[in-house]
Amino acid sequence: MFAQLSQQSSGRSRRGRRFTGVMTAAVLLAGSLSVAGPAVAAEAKTSPDPIPSKMRSIVGVDRYPGALAAVRDKRGRTKHYTAGAGDLRTGAPVPVNGRVRIGSTSKTFAAVVLLQLAEAGDVDLNASVESYLPGLVRSKGVDPSKITVRQLLQHDSGIPDYTDVMFKVMGDLVKYQHIYLEPRQLVDLANTEEGGPAGRGWAYSNTNYVLAGLIAQRVTGRPFNELVTERVIKRVGLRDTYVPGVGEERIRGRHPKGYQYDPGTGKLLDFTRMDPSWGWAAGQLISTPEDINTFLRALLDGDLLTPRMLAEMRHTIPTPTPGQRYGLGLFSLSLSCGGVAWGHGGDIPGYSNINAATDDGRVVTLVVTSLDGSINDPSGRENRNDLVDAALCAKA
């Protein structure tokens, strides 16, 4: 199949989990490049854009099937990039700014809702999980009366991750492709695992954000999906972001297909249609690279949270990854050019995204159409991180 790289320019200025495995089917890479607009072409003569070649390095045989990105500079100008194939069967190109599943990037949306409720006095970040959801958390080794809402949002709760129960091997992903699960069923899965005391350090668990979503529902009397839509998506005008309806497996509108390695066949499986209910508040949203950029920009600019709550969100603790810390639903990432960026990547079968924003206005979101565990070339993740760093450290 023909892998096409394209770049488009936009004048608009709108304000997980890791799996292992091997991919045995991939696209053939060709080196086509197009640049849209005379202004971009003139700029390229004096300051070559490093992103196109970095996009090319991400896709191809043994790498990701397709990739799409949106890069916004500090003056609010956005460029869109695509690479690879958007459909392995037909060879259709990746659509510019197509819709994708954003996985754990959904956690930042959820954290915003909880922090808004905290500012309103409806949620106490230092109150216990047990005080809001009595009897729900029952994992061995876990005391919910000593776990705070803050620790849920900061992954410092000691509560087991229900996805460890669901996905013990990569083939288990396929088993759950068309299964609907209620949020409380997800907590029940986590309750079968042994956890540990709260406050012992950062340990990522999707269960934390399912519980946060249930707390938001409890204190407001409204569905969590409605809260995210009204308080975040509509508030900052995210036109292409939405919460899938119950049982909704397709992705609306233009989108690249997402793929997942199937150990049963040894091939890539089209995973575009799936039931994302098991992600719920921890990872079910659908969005576009530009909408994610708009969301992060609005968040850091104070359009969603008061200065006090934004400061709470940006109060971080260490993670095991050097140069990376975690706040309340937000990572801080050290840049090669100095300073930090803020964001929250997300993985879900078929799609993986990395995103980050700086305080001076830069933002980048890069999406690939399979998980790391579906590719043979281990350099893929490093190449993606390098692209994000280059976009945020550009001199322009």
d(CA 359, CA 350): 31
Number of structural domains (the chain) is 1
Residue 18 lies in a domain: yes
Residue 104 lies in a domain: no
Residue 56 lies in a domain: yes
Radius of gyration of the chain (CA): 20
CB of 15 closer than 8 Å to CB of 297: yes
Q: Given this model, what pLDDT does residue 343 score? A: 98
What domain range includes position 13?
Answer: 2-97+286-393
Give, in order, the Cα–Cα distances in Å from 129 to each of 135, 153, 279. 10, 11, 20
Residue 24 lies in a domain: yes
* Model confidence pTM above 0.85: yes
Comparing C-alpha atoms, which of 11, 9, 21 is closest to residue 376?
Answer: 21
d(CA 255, CA 270): 13
Residue 17 lies in a domain: yes
DSSP, collapsed to helix, strand or coil, labels residue 317 as: strand
Measured from the Cβ of residue 129, the count of other Cβ atoms closer than 10 Å reads: 27
Residue 141 lies in a domain: no
CB of 189 closer than 8 Å to CB of 237: no
CB of 342 closer than 8 Å to CB of 297: no
CB of 391 closer than 8 Å to CB of 337: no
Q: Given this model, what pLDDT does residue 47 score? A: 66
Residue 60 lies in a domain: yes
Q: Which stretches in the chain have pLDDT values below 50? A: 1-46
Residue 219 lies in a domain: no
Helix axes 206-220 and 183-191, enclosed angle (nearest 10)? 130
Q: Given this model, what pLDDT does residue 396 score? A: 65
Comparing C-alpha atoms, which of 273, 270, 276 is closest to residue 250?
Answer: 273
pLDDT tens sequence across 46-61: 468 999 999 999 998 8
Place of tokens 């309103």: 120
